[in-house]
Structure 1
Amino acid sequence: MKGSDTVPGPRAEDQLPQTTEAAAKIVVVGGFGVGKTTMVGAVSEIKPLTTEETMTQAGIGVDDNFGSASKTATTVAMDFGRIRISDQVVLYLFGTPGQERFWFLWNGLFEGALGAVVLVDTRRLEVSYEVMGRLEERGVPFVVAVNTFPDGPRYPVEDLRQALDLTPEIPITECDARRRASSRDVLMTLMRFLHTMTTSGSPG
């Protein structure tokens, strides 16, 4: 009808292939400014949904923006993206808000999650403790991905494992959250870890 509004249909790249057999929910967690939104955006095969808001003076003294002086927006609810691991398996990615005042949203995002990626900034390892503690309380398996910031110190994996008080079986890997291939490798590490847990009968 002439002059009427039309609702666009789904884009071809947003549609799942008919071969899809399974889907899993994965959460990407970490402190403020560690790269969660960046990772979801880099790896997602669809245009990611973000809930970023412009940072204001109200956040001064409330949000820790260490190492993020140029950061002008922050996630206030979640980020969402999707990636196919194979023609049969799809991962739905949910990035959590990093500021402590929004952590009350985490429980809902953890609900039904198969596993998690904990993004770590070596300049602020201490902000990861509470994150991992909450995952352990919820029984959500996770891997640790060290986002390599240019000015961040580099440590041997075993030193990081000890500093983060991680058990030997939890994988630790380095990544560049800005790069799709690197972020995808982190997700593949998580999937291999989850597969190992399933086949070995380890508790989730």
Structure 2
Amino acid sequence: MDSNSSDRAADHRPAGAAGLPLRRTARDASKIVIVGGFGVGKTTMVGSISEIRPLSTEEIMTRAGIGIDDPSRVENKTTTTVAFDFGRISLDEQRVLYLFGAPGQERFWFLWDQLFSGSLGAVVLADTRRLKDCFYSLDRLEHHKMPFVVAVNRFDGPRPPLDRIRDALSLGDGVPLVECDARSRESCKSVLITLVRHLTRLHDPSLAQEVTP
């Protein structure tokens, strides 16, 4: 997987359609935030899993970002999120999950606290080539006392085992750590199920295994 895959996901929705309308029976809405470093695949993940064509605030990268953004490890990346990405998943007739992908560049970090407001939990998307980019995400989530899971977006190149990644990020045993492919709807779905099970386990351990795809 090259870094260009972090720009766009394959659109699995019908051509020309804006996506599924929100059911009138929907009553409960929950919010999940996807965070991580610059170019790690957040926009791709939202696009892969959303049942609607996602709202994206991507803009063409220009020379104005030279010296501000660091594209050295994402050399094929041509666009960047400047506010947030938004997607939606209907869990059943009454429950809806809203997804917000946070911008990864340091100059947009001031938006994160607002995106965290009202969120049930978060997914930290990680690139093993740039693990240090995860530390700000982990710090802010711990500051907000927000539950989260870490998903390793598997790019081409070395594939260190998860236990080494856990050690490198100083993750406690209670934080779920999984692999994913942000381009794959099923893979992204598995990550969200892991997060929901984690949230359920924190509130009522006896119910965690009842969360199914």
**Pairing 1:88-127 to 2, within 5 Å after superposition:** 88-127=94-133
Aligned-residue RMSD, C-alpha = 1.7
**Pairing 1:23-38 to 2, within 5 Å after superposition:** 23-38=29-44
Residues 95-104 or 12-21, more deviating? 12-21
Runs of 4+ deviating beyond 6 Å: none
Residue 57 of structure 2 aligns to a residue in which SS?
strand
Larger Rg: 1
Residue 185 of structure 1 aligns to a residue in which SS?
helix
Corresponding position: 1:46 with 2:58: no
Corresponding position: 1:74 with 2:80: yes
The answer for unaligned runs of 5 or more in structure 1 is 1-10
Taking structure 1 as the reference length, what is the TM-score of the superposition?
0.88
The question of whether the paired residues in 1 share the 8 Å contact of 2:18 and 2:52 is answered with no
**Pairing 1:1-204 to 2, within 5 Å after superposition:** 13-151=19-157, 153-200=158-205
Output the amino acid matched with 1:161. R
Cα displacement (A) at 1:130: 1.1
Q: Which residue of 1 aligns with 2:8?
A: none
The answer for unaligned runs of 5 or more in structure 2 is 1-16, 207-213
Q: Distance in 1 between matches of 2:21 and 2:172?
A: 39
Cα displacement (A) at 1:12: 8.9
Q: Distance in 2 between matches of 1:32 and 1:110?
A: 18
Q: Which residue of 1 aligns with 2:7?
A: none
Taking structure 2 as the reference length, what is the TM-score of the superposition?
0.85
Q: Distance in 1 between matches of 2:162 and 2:39?
A: 22
Q: Which residue of 2 aligns with 1:6?
A: none
Seq. identity, %: 58
Cα displacement (A) at 1:19: 4.5
| C-alpha distance 12-28 of structure 1, shift in aligned 2 (>3 A) | closer
Q: Which residue of 2 aligns with 1:4?
A: none
Q: Distance in 1 between matches of 2:18 and 2:161?
A: 44
Q: Distance in 1 between matches of 2:94 and 2:177?
A: 27
CA displacement, residues 88-142 of structure 1 (integer Å, 9 cap, x when unaligned):
4321000000000110011110100000000000000001011110011011110
Q: Distance in 2 between matches of 1:48 and 1:82?
A: 8
CA displacement, residues 176-200 of structure 1 (integer Å, 9 cap, x when unaligned):
0011111111111100000000114
Cα displacement (A) at 1:87: 3.5
Output the amino acid matched with 1:126. K
Residues 85-94 or 173-182, more deviating? 85-94
Q: Distance in 2 between matches of 1:89 and 1:188?
A: 15
Output the amino acid matched with 2:116. F
Q: Distance in 1 between matches of 2:166 and 2:93?
A: 34
Q: Distance in 2 between matches of 1:160 and 1:77?
A: 29
Residue 23 of structure 1 aligns to a residue in which SS?
strand
Cα displacement (A) at 1:18: 4.3
